[in-house]
Amino acid sequence: MPVASGLSEIDLRFRRSRRLAAARHRRPRRRHPLAWRSLRAAVLAFAVLAIAAEATRLEGSNASPRPAARHVTAPALSPACPVPAAFRAAFAKASAQTGVPASLLVSTAYEESRMDPAALSGAGARGLLQLMPATAREVGLDTDAPAANVLAGARYLRGLLDRFGDVDLALAAYNAGPTAIARAGHAPLAQLRYAKNVEARAAVLSC
Helix (DSSP H) and strand (DSSP E) numbers for the chain: 9, 0
Could you tell me if 109 and 153 are in contact, meaning their C-beta atoms sit under 8 angstroms apart?
yes
Three-state secondary structure call for residue 79: coil
End-to-end CA distance of the chain: 138
HSE-up (13 A, CA, CB side) for residue 140? 5
Q: How many residues does the chain have?
A: 207
The dihedral built from the CA positions of residue 185, 141, 207 and 82, taken in this order, carries a sign that is: positive
- What gap in Å lies between CA 160 and CA 165, rounded to an integer? 8
Of 9, 54, 59, 112, which residue is the catalytic one? 112
59 is catalytic: no
d(CA 160, CA 147): 20
Q: State the catalytic residues.
A: 112
